[in-house]
Amino acid sequence: MLSVDVMKTVGDFAIQAKFDVPSGATVLFGPSGSGKTSIINMIAGLMTPDRGRILCRGRLIFDSGARIDLPPYHRAFGYVFQDGRLFPHMTVAKNLDYGRKHHRLPYDRAAHERIVDMLDIGHLTQRRPGTLSGGERQRVAIGRALLMNPQLLLLDEPLASLDAARKREILPYLIRLRDASGIPMIYVTHHVAEVRRIATVVVRLEAGRVLGVGAPETIAASTDDLEG
Amino acid sequence: MTMPAFELSPDEWTAVLLSLRVALVATLASLPFGIAVAWLLARGNFWGKTLLDGLVHLPLVLPPVVTGYLLLIAFGRKGAVGAFLAEQLGVVLAFRWTGAALASAVMAFPLMVRAIRLSIEAIDRRLEQAATTLGASRGAVFRSITLPLALPGIIAGMVLAFAKALGEFGATITFVSNIPGETQTLSAAIYTLTQVPGGDAAALRLVVLAIVISLAALVLSEWLARRAARRLHGV
């Protein structure tokens, strides 16, 4: 489904990552500084690899050899950031509708209601992001990324800024999403518990390199949480 | 001085209304350029950026009379730009109120650009990144994220520019002279009144009015900025 082969040097840190993953939930797992966020940003188009190729669902989105580099707004990958990044000057409703509007998709009432119900954010639509709790904000951010009908959903430590209770609040939504939506997910984390609950495939990263790709059980049993 | 002394004469009214018109047109007409230059200076990375920055700030440090004289050379009827505008577009700036608006706009431009630039620099660029992942092109990001988030700075820049344009004197009088009803703004009228015997009372009336207008502009900007900030972060 997703094939990544990228090289990128930032200062004296070099990333050289190559992996192929099927649909489902792929977790990029590694300690801080392993290049997880850089890799997900290269997939999103927010960071340009020095060299390489990225192929998603048969579509070439980046190829340095062929000089192909789709801008992020043409990739149609939903991105849920660690810090939500809701637009502070818009209501929750406007935030949710932003991706659909800019992708010029028709309004699909049924899909809208299904996602809003699944994330339980229907009562928040007239509020401003500044008045939401951390958990509410992250749920709206997930909804905003889903409502643009993404080809792929990227999640960069979506639970990291939340306390334990909020994490327990959000995780079930993500699992339901994985099972019900059929949208492939790339999920960055350094927490073993999240790997266990969410992953169908794990890509283990360290110091900018891929250590291995495998089933979540292969690391979950023997590993502790990695340093943030 | 009795109370009716505060009634303005028709000539004084003319000067006040002309000043408001000049300042308003100067502010509104320079706003698109102000936003564009502020954005370039805040976000651009191009050859000549330092030069552009210097050029924009030049009216702040040059003697206003020098700026006015340069405008006269460039935009006068026989100036390079002025001749072109007059022949091709039929627009004459020299010794017209439109010229007064140009002179005040040039003088106020650095203040406007500075305020807008600071507000653009303060925007969290990660929000703009988030917008691109949601399908917004660069233009759409600018319209839907950058511009609304910079709004308090844009309002502040407009009010500063308006106040500066309202009080501009040196460049204006050099470029378009001091013609009652055409280019005699509030400041020029006050100056003229101080030069003639018996003009003190009229000068004082205009001075009071200038203070009132400036204070009103400040209060209005404070109110607008608060409203904008509430909308940005708000409830």
Cα A127 to Cα A124: distance, rounded to the nearest angstrom: 5
Q: Is B150 on the interface with A (CB under 8 A)?
A: no
Asked if B133 and A131 come within 8 Å (Cβ–Cβ), the reply is no
Total number of domains in chain A:
1
Query: What are the pLDDT digits (tens) for A127-147?
Result: 999 999 988 999 999 999 999
- What's the CA gap between A38 and A95, in Å, rounded? 25
ipTM value: 0.92
Q: Do A89 and B232 touch (CB under 8 A)?
A: yes
Residue B194 CA from chain centroid, whole number = 26
Examine residue A188 and state whether it is found in any structural domain, yes or no. yes
Q: Give B-chain residues touching A77 at CB under 8 angstroms.
A: 133
Confidence of residue B234 (pLDDT cuts 50, 70, 90): low
Give the integer Cα–Cα distance in Å for B122 and A150.
30
* Structure token pair of residue B195: 């030069």
Q: Is residue A100 part of a domain?
A: yes
Domain residues for A95? 2-221
Within a domain: A226: no
CATH of the domain at A122: 3.40.50.300
Contacts of A76 in chain B (CB under 8 A): 135
Cβ–Cβ gap B140/A102 under 8 Å: yes
Let me know if residue A169 belongs to a domain.
Answer: yes
Q: Is residue A228 part of a domain?
A: no
Which structure tokens are listed for B213? 């207008």
Kindly give the parts of chain A with pLDDT less than 70.
220-224, 226-228
Residue B32: strand, helix, or coil? helix
- B65, B175 in Cβ contact below 8 A? no
CA A177/CA A166 separation, integer angstroms? 17
Q: CB-CB: which of A88, A102, A128 is closest to B134?
A: A102
Question: Can you tell me which residue has the tokens 């966020």?
Answer: A37
Beta bridge partners of A29: A189, A204
Any idea how long chain A is? 228
Asked if the structure places residue A28 within a domain, the reply is yes
pLDDT digits (tens, 9 = 90+) for B32-85: 999 999 999 999 999 999 999 999 999 999 999 999 999 999 999 888 899 899
Instruction: Compute the nearest-CA separation of B141 from chain A (Å).
Output: 10
Kindly list the structural domains of chain B, giving each domain's residue range(s) and its CATH number in brackets, ordered by start.
10-43+57-233 (1.10.3720.10)
Nearest residue of A to residue B147 by CA position?
Answer: A89
- State whether residue A76 sits within 8 Å of chain B by CB: yes
pTM of the model: 0.87
CA distance A174 to chain B (A): 19
